[in-house]
Amino acid sequence: MLILSAVIAAWVMIFIDHQIDIEIEGIFSFMFTSSADSARSVLSIISGAMIGVAGTVFSITLVALTLASSNFGSRLIRNFMYEKINQIVLGAYISSFIYCLIVLNVIKETDTTVFIPSLSVLFAIILTIINIFLLVIFIHHTAVSIQSDKVVSDIAESLSYNVKVLFPEEMGEDFEVEKEPTLPTEYYNFTYNVKSNKSGYLQYIDDNKIFDFANKNNLIVKLDCRPGDYLVQGVNIARVFSKDELEDSSLNIFKLAFITGKSRTPQQDAEFAIHQMVEIAARALSPGVNDPYTAIACIDNLTTTMCYLSKVKFPSPYRYNDNKELRLIASVLDFEGMLNAAFNQIRQFAKDSPSVVIRLMESLKVVYYYTDKDEYKMAVKMHAEMILRLAEKTFIEKNDLIDLKQRSEFIY
């Protein structure tokens, strides 16, 4: 977009220079070039500098990506590449280079024709001044963006946004069932298995399309996977229960509702950002890094997320139509699964770091007293008991174990 804008801007400025004859006089005469050689020199210097700085900006970006990949994990490269400031700076320098080339090409000075695009050259100088400020902003932004606290904060913000979108505090009213419904197999004589077309991570499910099709054709669909799962080509992704025999073309509609890719995405995968945070904590706890403070920062942000999830209403796997007829059985997440994703691996990697283990227990204590659901409290107590058993086997200092047990009194 920026390169295209530069081409259009060059044409517009050259057109204006053709239409307006600028008299270079008075106190503003120093702002305009008065000869073709001066205009060529200015544009040549600017274009050479812009492409040179663009190369430097690319190099700085690659170094930042290398550091981020080695310290925080390769999956975080997506976060750096999607930042608007990086895209704008890279685009601005390349666009300025192209603008100068186009304007430089139209300068003419012969015995019969003289064309000096003074306004276009002035605009190139203004672009250069803006690019200098952009370079300062970019260097500052890059230096800040690779700091562990900033990375953890950005992921926590993304995690909070994704969780609030996927699990809003008010889900609206739905049809409650007292117990798990049974499939009326006596009415549905045909069962079809929908298989994955290719291998990869399931990125998106168009559940509205599946539900509408099932409701229209009086079907029951049971999903065997959810976004974030890795699918192997040919594995079952759904089962369709039908009263009448279905054609293969009808089953292909279900396959079109599943999008599979090479990597996980946060659109419908609530665990994606949690796994990013856990990965940072795991790397921080590795013997080669040994950075417990970064791990503790990850735990603190995960605690905020789990406290929020302890208050929301998780969607039911059973979806009914307006007549309260079962149409879709989805594979959904629950609080215990999210809690396992957030704290299991950190506990396993933190066995040699008492300070991180103690902070884990404090976080679970906060979540325990924050939630008011008994089943959630039982899940938190289970994690606390696992942490306590881990500490009893790995803690060398007796006082550390006493300190941990004081924080685990809520499980008794």
For the segment 296-351, what is each residue's pLDDT rounded down to a tens digit? 988 998 998 899 888 877 777 888 888 878 888 888 888 898 899 999 999 999 98
pLDDT of residue 23: 57
pLDDT of residue 176: 47
Q: Residue 239 has which token pair?
A: 């089962």
Among all chains, which residue has been given the structure tokens 């025999």? Answer: 245
State whether residue 297 is helix, strand or coil.
helix
Q: Which stretches in the chain have pLDDT values below 70?
A: 21-34, 68-81, 111, 164-187
Residue 159 and residue 341 in contact, taking contact as beta carbons nearer than 8 Å: no
- As beta bridge partners, residue 260 has 202
Tell me the C-alpha distance between 61 and 133, whole Å. 17
The CATH-assigned architecture of domain 190-261 is Alpha-Beta Complex (3.90)
Residue 318 and residue 177 in contact, taking contact as beta carbons nearer than 8 Å: yes
Helical packing angle, 118-145 and 36-72, nearest 10°: 20
Q: Which residues contact 277 (CB under 8 A, 6 or more apart)?
A: 152, 155, 156, 159, 298, 301, 302, 342
173-178 contact pairs (CB < 8 A, 24+): 174/316, 174/320, 175/320, 175/324, 176/316, 177/316, 177/318
Main-chain dihedrals φ then ψ at residue 328, nearest 5 degrees: -145, 135
pLDDT of residue 197: 84
Tell me the C-alpha distance between 70 and 279, whole Å. 12
